[in-house]
Homo-oligomer: A and B are copies of this chain.
Amino acid sequence: MNVAVLGAGAVGTSVVELAGEYGHDVVAVADSSSAAVDDDGLDAAAILEAKRSGGAVGDAAPEAAFDAAYDVLVEATPTTLGDAEPGFSHVRRALEADRHVVLANKGPVAERYEDVRALEADSAGTVLFEAAVGGAIPVLSTIADLNGQVTAARGVLNGTANFVLSRMAAEGLGYEHVLAEAKDLGVAEADPSFDVEGTDAALKCVILANVLYQETYTLEDAEVEGIADLPGSALELAAEDGRTIRLVGEVSDGRVRVGPRLVPENGTLAVSGTLNIVQLETTHAGRLNISGRGAGGPETASAVLADIGRLPPAGRN
């Protein structure tokens, strides 16, 4: 397929780099200040080199990406809350042009799911968003294949928070110390509040709820508690009882909850470091556990490209 990529951060550039391996052509790439467009297929290496050297993606205005002969729009701009802009408008524009949309951006499908589905219903295009939940982990495709059988989902969906908790438990270090270390290692952002306050995990759970239930959810419907106030002594007490603490997101009985939870120290949910895990409860197939890398450019791009492979043939005429 012909792919247009919006967003040239870690995920967007990885999609550009790997698309060829999956048999796709990248015909447009845009970040917030410029775009490169070529309906015969862009030179991925040149784009990547331009971004690495801090230069512009291309000579065109960002808008020009929508004029490309693309079959699928990859929306990989940063996640925003509330109106989920500008991601939502990008999705709208592609669907109104009967193109497919694959999202890595969580905003539109967490905050405006009903609007996205309404636009999709009026479009020849299809919307997929595997990359928005659990990075490389095939959560949403597994839920889709199970065709309504999944009744609940639970998991560790934020690698930064999990790294902090793993390190605090393993080394007996305090929250601030480990968070500083995580920033040094590039595991935590300079402003880690999105991760440690549980917002990122909650958005992923809201997306899962939107997929699992008939009702539509937004971040406002989630009960969210982060790990910033968690004392090291809580982890010590847990360890004395053979347990540890993880930031667990849960979607069950129509509720979305995220918070620190006691889990068995060697149990399935106690993944370590930046790993993510999702548990799916099914009516006929028991519990499925899927773990892997929940973030990272190439890992998340793999999920985007898997989605592209699952799309029906091009929607546009």
Q: From residue 134 to 158 of chain A, which have CB atoms closer than 8 A to chain B?
A: 135-138, 141-142, 145-149
* Residues of B close to A289: CB separation below 8 A: 289-292
Instruction: From A188-196, A254-262, A300-308, give the one contacting chain B.
Output: A300-308
Interface residues on A, range: 35 or more
- Closest partner residue, chain B, to A288 (CB atom): B292
Tell me the smallest distance from the CB of A229 to a CB of chain B, in Å: 29
Q: Are B306 and A145 in contact (CB under 8 A)?
A: yes
Do B147 and A284 have beta carbons less than 8 Å apart? no
Question: Residues 276-287 of chain A: 1 if any B CB is under 8 Å from the residue's CB, otherwise 0?
Answer: 000000101111
In the complex, how many angstroms separate the beta carbon of A285 from the nearest chain B beta carbon? 4
With known contacts A147-B305, A148-B21, A266-B266, A286–B310 Cβ distance under 8 A: no
- For the complex, is A18 an interface residue (Cβ under 8 Å from B)? yes
A309, CB-defined interface residue at 8 Å: yes
**How far apart are the CA atoms of A135 and B282 in the complex, in Å?**
14
Contact present for A142 and B149 (CB under 8 Å): no
With known contacts A266-B266, A302-B282, A288–B136 Cβ distance under 8 A: yes
Residues of B within 8 A of A299 (CB): 284-286
Q: A141-B145, A145-B306, A147-B306 are in contact. Are A286 and B292 (CB under 8 A)?
A: yes
Residues of B within 8 A of A285 (CB): 135-136, 292-293, 298-299, 302-303
Question: In the bound complex, how far is the Cα of B282 from the Cα of A299, in angstroms?
Answer: 9
Copies, count: 2
Please determine whether B136 and A309 come into contact, CB atoms closer than 8 angstroms: no
Q: Is the CB of A142 within 8 A of B138?
A: yes
A interface secondary structure, majority: mixed
- Using Cβ atoms and an 8 Å threshold, which residues of chain B touch A301? 284
Cβ B309 vs Cβ A147 within 8 A: yes
A138 neighbours in B (Cβ, 8 Å)? 138, 141-142, 145, 288
Quote the shortest CB–CB distance from A299 to chain B (angstroms).
5
Q: C-beta contact mask, A117-139 vs B, less than 8 Å → 1, else 0? A: 00000000000000000011110
**Neighbouring B residues of A286 by C-beta, 8 Å:** 136, 292-293, 296, 299
Q: Are B292 and A287 neighbours in the complex by a CB distance under 8 Å?
A: yes
Q: Mark A7-47, 1 if CB is under 8 A from B, else 0.
A: 00000001000100110000000000000000000000000
The 22 sampled A-B contact pairs (Cβ below 8 Å) are A21-B149, A136-B282, A136-B285, A138-B288, A141-B141, A141-B142, A141-B145, A149-B302, A268-B291, A284-B298, A284-B301, A285-B292, A285-B293, A285-B299, A285-B303, A286-B292, A286-B293, A286-B299, A287-B292, A287-B293, A288-B290, A288-B292
**10 closest Cβ pairs, A-B complex:** A136-B285, A266-B266, A145-B306, A285-B302, A284-B298, A288-B292, A286-B293, A289-B291, A285-B299, A284-B302
